[in-house]
Amino acid sequence: MREETREQPAPLRSGLTTGSCATATSLAAAKLLLTGQRDDAVDITLPKGKVVQMRLEFCRLIGECAEAGTLKDAGDDPDVTHGALLYSQVRLLAEPGIGFVAGSGVGTVTRPGLVLAVGEPAINPVPRRMISEHLQHLADACGYLGGFEVTVNVQGGEQLALKTMNPRLGILGGLSILGTSGIVRPFSCAAYIASIHQGIDVAHTNGYTHIAACTGNASEDTMRRVYGLPEIALIEMGDFVGAVLKHLRKVPVPRLTLCGGFGKISKLAAGHMDLHSRHSSIDLPQLAGWAADIGADEALQAAISSANTSQQALALAHAAGIALGDAVCAHALAFARSVVPAQVHVEVFAIDRQGGIVGQAGVQ
């Protein structure tokens, strides 16, 4: 009898960043202007030296400009820009140098605190460097001594940007052209953590002394209701509380409120920096121990230890008059304080699934 073998899942496919797309399309357009050569695909060199070929959807002359476009391929990453048409228009300039313009669907920086100055197109430093290096290499090869104006566009980018952190960061009118390696790693946490850091930086630079880091929409709604905080002061941290706490060592905002579901706050209370179920779990016996510290009898401790969920454990404690929510928040507060600088005032809220507050600690 033939033994069945378990099929191994295929490895996730990497993609290319919007910065790589902008580099390829800018290069193709500039090459058409300088050489008359119309390419179907171009090779670009990524920051770490890898050469990749990118297929073009079009490469054409429009008046005194040339433009080229490609479809953004994010691989297996759930990127909002996957499949979007990114195209660059290039115009030759008499003077040396490269200027960047935010075209249709590319945002403009309107708040200080980001790596780009207010008024600049949201084309980040590494993509700018990639485009500049490729165009300069082309210019040298062609003996061209003038400059380039590069306008980057993303079809539908203004609508896609509403699904990103850009509006909250003050990047208006479209998407950012991003990338540090040129490659999109599927389900990478790096981009999310970078957006958390950017959110804190922007709030701090714009003079906000109180920010609230929230695990999701319900906790954000609670912070709006309790404190009336504006969007710029609300940090969508998801499961990455460690990214918030560690960044405050560099940017010590005077007041930090942490808000999340009771289960996630109980993980923080246990000293976990990543609250996702893949990396941390709820310790029910520990919850029982904290309940014992504030008066829970042995029967209640046993019931909490064997509860199906943290919400059930909380309900059991509440029915017995044991303020487990506050106790968990107090432990979460103690851990958070151990990470951030002493001058940062921290407070913690735990909420239920309806957004009701079930525990708090450190509240002024």
What's the CATH number where 65 sits? Answer: 3.30.2110.10
Same-domain status, 178 and 243: no
Question: Is 1 part of any domain?
Answer: no
Of 121, 150, 184, the domain-final residue: 184
Q: Judge contact between 174 and 104, C-beta under 8 A.
A: yes
Q: What is the pLDDT of residue 3?
A: 38
Q: What is the pLDDT of residue 76?
A: 67
Same-domain status, 206 and 351: yes
Same-domain status, 164 and 227: no
Same-domain status, 173 and 195: no
- The percent of residues above 90 in pLDDT, for the chain, comes to 84
Same-domain status, 160 and 219: no
Q: Judge contact between 171 and 107, C-beta under 8 A.
A: yes
pLDDT band (50, 70, 90) for residue 2: very low
Question: Is 322 part of any domain?
Answer: yes
SS3 readout for the chain: CCCCCCCCCCCCCCEECHHHHHHHHHHHHHHHHHHCCCCCEEEEECCCCCEEEEECCEEEEECCEEEEEEECCCCCCCCCCCCCEEEEEEEEECCCCEEEEECCCECEECCECECCCCCCECECHHHHHHHHHHHHHHHHHHCCCCEEEEEEEECCHHHHHHHCCHHHHCEECCECECCCCCEECCCCCHHHHHHHHHHHHHHHHCCCCEEEEECCHHHHHHHHHHHCCCHHHEEECCCCHHHHHHHCCCCCCCEEEEEEEHHHHHHHHCCCCCCCCCCCCCCHHHHHHHHHHCCCCHHHHHHHHCCCCHHHHHHHHHHCCCCHHHHHHHHHHHHHHHHCCCCCEEEEEEECCCCCEEEEECCC
Give the tens place of pLDDT for each residue, 311-358.
Answer: 999 999 999 999 999 999 999 999 999 999 999 999 999 999 889 999
**pLDDT surpassing 50 at residue 4:** no
Same-domain status, 305 and 162: no
Alpha carbons within 13 angstroms on the beta-carbon side of residue 41 total 6
Same-domain status, 225 and 349: yes
The residue behind tokens 């246990």 is: 270
The residue behind tokens 């919400």 is: 311
- The percent of residues above 70 in pLDDT, for the chain, comes to 95
The contacts found for 289-294 with CB under 8 angstroms, 24 or more apart, are: 290/324, 290/327, 290/328, 290/331, 291/317, 291/322, 291/324, 291/327, 293/327, 294/322, 294/323, 294/324, 294/327
Question: Is 6 part of any domain?
Answer: no
Q: What is the pLDDT of residue 125?
A: 95
Q: Judge contact between 194 and 164, C-beta under 8 A.
A: no
Question: Is 198 part of any domain?
Answer: yes
Query: Which residues, listed in sequence order, are joined to residue 91 by a DSSP beta bridge?
Result: 65, 149
Q: What is the pLDDT of residue 364?
A: 81
User: What residue numbers bound the domain in which 171 lies?
Assistant: 15-184
Task: Name the residue among 261, 243, 244, 257 with its Cα closest to residue 211.
Answer: 257
Question: Is 9 part of any domain?
Answer: no
Task: Name the residue among 150, 166, 146 with its Cα closest to residue 158.
Answer: 166
Q: What angle do CA 34, 21, 199 make, to 5 degrees?
A: 130
pTM of the model: 0.81
Tokens standing for residue 189: 């946490």
Same-domain status, 87 and 147: yes
* Mean pLDDT, rounded, for 44-54: 94
pLDDT band (50, 70, 90) for residue 279: confident
Q: What is the pLDDT of residue 80?
A: 87
Greater confidence, 258 or 10?
Answer: 258
Question: Is 8 part of any domain?
Answer: no
Same-domain status, 176 and 307: no
Same-domain status, 45 and 71: yes
Same-domain status, 155 and 24: yes
Question: Is 207 part of any domain?
Answer: yes
Of 133, 159, 184, the domain-final residue: 184
Q: What is the pLDDT of residue 7?
A: 43
Average pLDDT over the chain reads 93
Number of separate domains in the chain: 2
Same-domain status, 258 and 278: yes
Give the tens place of pLDDT for each residue, 147-196.
Answer: 999 999 999 999 999 999 999 999 999 999 999 888 776 656 788 898 99
Q: What is the pLDDT of residue 1?
A: 34
* Mean pLDDT, rounded, for 86-98: 98
Q: What angle do CA 216, 122, 137 make, to 5 degrees?
A: 135
In angstroms, the CA 90 to CA 151 distance is: 6
Query: Which residues, listed in sequence order, are joined to residue 149 by a DSSP beta bridge?
Result: 91, 99
Tokens standing for residue 154: 């993303």
Of 127, 150, 184, the domain-final residue: 184
**pLDDT surpassing 90 at residue 114:** yes
Question: Is 10 part of any domain?
Answer: no
